[in-house]
């Protein structure tokens, strides 16, 4: 089959939270693009069902494996990475998809244990897999790291503070690790997949307007009715970022829905010399204020 139809042929990917929702959609897209994959998640039953489904979609030369693992458990993640390398013959791509909303409500009213656990899953559950794959990526002189960040990184989310804080941290982590790896041919990027109709939306609806706020709840109801953003947008962007077509694009937070990312390779020099598609502080001068900046 032509390479453009199998852009991930010969590549091996590890996808966290790959048992359902966007993670499962990314895994399907990677298999269709020719990759061999390892998926991991905490729910062993759902993970096994998804793994068997993916194996049925793969060709004979695309091994598929899966492992139950908690992304906040360093030893479990290390073992998962080793298994991927041993059973799949290497590792070229990490997709950090595992994530939770965490507790809903005003910051001072939320359960502190739940708040900390959400940060552990979203942020530490991204840092730990990155730490595990970087020695391998650096040794082979190539790698792709893809983070799932999103709306929590770009806008305040009242009453969902653990999610917002951890997703913003993930975006800055993406930029920082990209800088650390800029001489190692390792590209590190974050995806904003859009408003998805996944279990996270169902959690918002179940929590109700008193917990998440009337405005956010009303948006969630409309999103549920409208169908939300198709999962395929985020999956297509993930395939692009995992492929050689995106080589050199790094340290960016990319909208799957609104950014013309497929054309970015034509403008690589402009990207490299600019701070576009990154988190940054907006000064008063940039907004036309004459009084705020020296």
Instruction: Clarify whether residues 252 and 118 are in a common domain.
Output: yes
Residue percentage of the chain with pLDDT more than 90: 76
- 217 assigned to active site: no
In a domain, 159, yes or no: yes
Overall number of domains in the chain: 2
Instruction: Clarify whether residues 13 and 107 are in a common domain.
Output: yes
In a domain, 294, yes or no: no
In a domain, 211, yes or no: yes
Residue percentage of the chain with pLDDT more than 70: 98
Instruction: Clarify whether residues 105 and 160 are in a common domain.
Output: yes
CATH (domain of 64): 3.40.50.720
In a domain, 293, yes or no: no
Instruction: Clarify whether residues 219 and 84 are in a common domain.
Output: no
Poorest-pLDDT segment among 168-182, 216-230, 232-246: 216-230
- Catalytic residue, candidates 101, 142, 163, 277: 163
What's the pLDDT at 155? 85
- 10 Å Cβ neighbour count for 66? 25
In a domain, 283, yes or no: no
Instruction: Clarify whether residues 108 and 209 are in a common domain.
Output: no
Instruction: Clarify whether residues 109 and 163 are in a common domain.
Output: yes
Instruction: Clarify whether residues 135 and 44 are in a common domain.
Output: yes
In a domain, 158, yes or no: yes
Examine the pLDDT at 292 and tell me if it is beyond 50: yes
In a domain, 214, yes or no: yes
Instruction: Clarify whether residues 18 and 161 are in a common domain.
Output: yes
In a domain, 234, yes or no: yes
Instruction: Clarify whether residues 203 and 137 are in a common domain.
Output: no
Mean pLDDT, the chain, rounded, equals: 92
Instruction: Clarify whether residues 112 and 211 are in a common domain.
Output: no
Instruction: Clarify whether residues 210 and 130 are in a common domain.
Output: no
pLDDT in tens, 228-238: 778 899 999 99
Range of the domain at 11: 3-194+230-257+264-270
Instruction: Clarify whether residues 135 and 242 are in a common domain.
Output: yes
pTM reported for the whole predicted model: 0.94
What's the pLDDT at 197? 67
């Amino acid at each position: 089959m032509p390479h453009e139809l199998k852009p991930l042929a010969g590549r091996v990917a590890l996808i966290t939270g790959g048992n359902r929702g966007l993670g499962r959609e990314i895994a399907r897209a990677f298999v269709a693009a020719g990759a061999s994959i390892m998926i991991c998640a905490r729910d062993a039953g759902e993970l096994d069902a998804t793994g068997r489904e993916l194996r049925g979609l793969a060709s004979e030369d695309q091994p598929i494996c899966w492992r139950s693992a908690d992304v906040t458990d360093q030893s479990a993640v290390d073992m998962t990475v080793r298994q991927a390398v041993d059973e799949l013959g290497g590792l070229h791509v990490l997709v950090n998809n595992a994530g939770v909303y965490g507790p809903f409500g005003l910051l001072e009213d939320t359960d502190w244990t739940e708040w900390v656990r959400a940060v552990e899953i979203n942020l530490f559950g991204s840092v730990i897999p990155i730490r595990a794959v970087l020695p391998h990526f650096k040794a082979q002189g190539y790698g792709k790291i893809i983070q799932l960040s999103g709306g929590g990184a770009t806008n305040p989310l009242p009453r969902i503070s653990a999610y917002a804080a951890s997703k913003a941290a993930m975006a800055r982590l993406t930029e920082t690790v990209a800088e650390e790896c800029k001489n190692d041919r390792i590209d590190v990027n974050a995806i904003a997949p859009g408003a998805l109709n996944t279990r996270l939306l169902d959690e918002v609806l179940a929590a109700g307007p008193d917990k998440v706020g009337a405005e956010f709840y009303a948006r969630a109801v409309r999103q549920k009715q409208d169908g939300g953003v198709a999962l395929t947008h985020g999956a297509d962007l993930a395939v692009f970022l995992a492929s050689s077509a995106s080589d050199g694009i790094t340290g960016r937070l990319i909208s799957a829905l609104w950014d013309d990312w497929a054309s970015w390779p034509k403008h690589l020099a402009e990207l490299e010399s600019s701070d576009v598609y990154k988190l940054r502080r907006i000064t008063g001068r940039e907004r036309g204020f004459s009084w705020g900046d020296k």
